[in-house]
Amino acid sequence: MKEDIYPCTIICDRYGGSYSGGKWTAWRMDFDAIPSAIDYGDMECMYFWDNESEVYFIGKGNTPQEAYNDLARKLKDKNE
C-alpha cells in the first residue's frame, strides 16, 4: 500500500507552469512554509525555479494528481 505524503500542499502555479514546468505543484510542507518567491514578480519567480532543485523536492504536473505523483516519485528516488 502506498503511503500518503504528509504534510502535502498542492497549488495551482501562478504563471501556469512557465517557470516551474507544471500547471500544478505539490510540496511536502504546509502552505505557509512554501517560499513566497513562487508568487512574486517574473524575475524572483524565474530565479526561484532555476535553483529550486538544490533545496526542495517539488512535484509538478498538469493536474493536481500528476503533481502529487511526481512528488511521490521524487521522494521515493531520494530514499532509494
Local structure of 11: helix, strand or coil = strand
Position 80 scores a pLDDT of 62
pLDDT for the residue numbered 2: 59
Question: pTM value?
Answer: 0.89
Cell of 26: 505539490
Full pLDDT tens readout for the chain, 80 residues: 357 899 999 999 999 999 999 999 999 999 999 999 999 999 999 999 999 878 899 999 999 999 999 999 999 988 86
Q: Residue 13: what residue type? A: D
Residue-level pLDDT at 52: 87
Q: Which pLDDT belongs to residue 66?
A: 98
Q: Is 61 helix (H, G, I), strand (E, B) or coil?
A: strand
Residue 34 Cα to chain centre, angstroms: 9
DSSP annotation string for 13-59: -TTTTTTTSSSEEEESS-GGGS-GGGGS-HHHHHHHHHHGGGT--EE
What pLDDT is attached to residue 1? Answer: 33
